[in-house]
Amino acid sequence: MLALAACLAVGLALPFVAPLPLVDRLVFAAIYGIAGLGVGLLLGQCGILNLAQALFYGIGAYATAYASVELGWPPAAGFAAGLAVSGALAFAIGWPTLRLNGYFLALATLALGIAGHELFFEWDWLTGGTFGIGGIPPIRLAGLPFNTPETFYYIAWAVFLAALFLARNLIASRNGLAMQAMRDAPDAAAVLGIDMHRLKAKMFVVSAMLGAVAGSLFAHYVGFVSVQSFGVERSIQFLLIPVVGGARSLVGMAVGAIFIALVPELLSHFGEIHHVLFGLALVAVVIICPDGIAGLWQGLRARIAAPRTAEASTKEPNHAA
């Protein structure tokens, strides 16, 4: 609790003391973290590899942009439109697609992401094509515009932390236990009467809606959306968040989001070679931390606690004797 309070205090004070570029990257870390959380829930709790998250990220962004600019709707209505469209599309696509397993399912979601990117490009009457949609108004609360990195930082991270809290409750619920059973022992889960296909479809919808929320925040933050922001490489970036941080750890989602948002920016000072350096950094993380950075921390805690546990057990009196 003390460590959590310290992190919260540092997070609240950060926009006042950190340089503007760092605050900007932390805003993107929160936005990417929300979308990455959706991917991580599917991967870590259900064992499903989703490479179509950029599709729902784009739907949320375009729904907010079109509703705000073309229809004059308030931001809340744009968020709701993005959630509704993403949820409905995820259910319609996911219900037949999620009957696949393993690599076939991963390839199917990859195909969905590619198809979605092409539709964003072709439907220029709705998305603006390569020209995109600009002039998206900032989010306003109590009449105050959140149009700077310092102010939007609090909105983005508040939404991210709220999403993490809801995800924690979901994992601890009955559905969360069913997901873990489906992931670890699908045959046993089927014997226990768990409708695995229905559960997968539900989680796919939840993942898509998280992607839509992230896309809506992105649209209001940058004030402009175009098709270049929603390619397959964005889906891979979202996938890297749970892989780097730890797919089964909610804290790992935040760590992975910060890693993905900050490390490429730091390495960019080395010039064109920074792509190679970032790739090497990813390889090093995967080799050193196969369960993610959060998994490495949990392993270290277990090693530190093991001698203490053994010592305590040796000091216990032998009542049986």
pLDDT digits (tens, 9 = 90+) for 11-66: 888 888 889 999 999 999 999 999 999 999 999 988 899 999 999 999 999 999 99
Q: Which residues of 199-224 are buried (b: 16+ CB within 10 A; e: fewer)?
A: bbbbbbbbbbbbbbbbbbbbbbbbbb
- What's the mean pLDDT in 153-166? 95
Please state, in angstroms and rounded to a whole number, the distance separating the CA atoms of residues 71 and 73: 6
**Which range scores top for mean pLDDT: 187-191, 228-232, 315-319?**
228-232
Q: Which pLDDT band, with edges at 50, 70 and 90, does 321 fall under?
A: very low
- Among 52-66, 129-143, 300-314, the minimum mean pLDDT is found in 300-314
pLDDT at 318: 53
For residue 134, pLDDT over 50 is answered with: yes
- Mean pLDDT, the chain, rounded, equals 89
Instruction: Using DSSP, state whether 148 is helix, strand or coil.
Output: coil
Residue 275 is assigned to a structural domain of this protein = no
- Say if 16 falls within a structural domain: no
Please report, as a single letter, which amino acid is at residue 232: V
Total domains present in the chain: 1
* Pair 184, 176: CB distance under 8 Å: no
Highest mean pLDDT among 23-27, 264-268, 294-298: 23-27
- Residue (of 157, 150, 135) closest to 70 by Cα position: 135
Q: How far apart are the first and last CA of the chain?
A: 41
pLDDT reported for residue 162: 95
- Residue 270 domain-assigned (yes or no): no
- pLDDT attached to residue 202: 94
Its domain, for residue 170, covers 21-231
- Alpha carbon 29 to its chain centroid, in Å, reads 9
CA distances from 272 to 72, 277, 278, 284 (A): 42, 10, 11, 20
- Is 249 within the bounds of a domain? no
3-state secondary structure of 73: coil
Specify the amino acid at residue 171.
I
DSSP state of 44: I
CA distance 135 to 151: 19
Is 1 part of any domain?
no
Q: 148 exposed, middle or buried (CB, 10 Å; 0-12, 13-18, 19+)? A: middle
In a domain, 254, yes or no: no
Q: Examine residue 8 and state whether it is found in any structural domain, yes or no.
A: no
Are the C-beta atoms of 39 and 207 separated by less than 8 Å? yes
Q: What is the pTM of this model?
A: 0.91
Amino acid at the residue 293: I
Distances, alpha carbon 119 to alpha carbons 58, 124, 131, 231, 247, in Å = 11, 9, 14, 11, 30
Integer angstrom CA distances of residue 27 from 58, 144, 153, 160, 289: 18, 18, 5, 10, 26
For β-strands 144-146 and 224-225, DSSP reports them as unpaired
pLDDT digits (tens, 9 = 90+) for 78-106: 999 999 999 999 999 999 999 888 889 99
Reading the block at residue 108, the tokens are 């199917």
The whole-angstrom distance between residue 221's C-alpha and the CA centroid of its chain comes to: 17
- Pinpoint the alpha helices (H) of the chain: 2-17, 20-40, 53-69, 75-97, 102-122, 124-127, 149-172, 174-184, 186-191, 196-222, 232-245, 250-267, 274-288, 292-315
Residue 261 lies in a domain: no
Answer with the residue of higher pLDDT: 57 or 182. 57
pLDDT at 223 over 70: yes
- By CB neighbour count within 10 A (0-12 exposed, 13-18 middle, 19+ buried), where does 232 fall? middle
Q: What is the DSSP letter of 41?
A: I
CA distance 140 to 32: 21
Lowest mean pLDDT among 30-44, 123-137, 217-231: 123-137
% of the chain residues with pLDDT over 70:
93
What pLDDT is attached to residue 28?
96
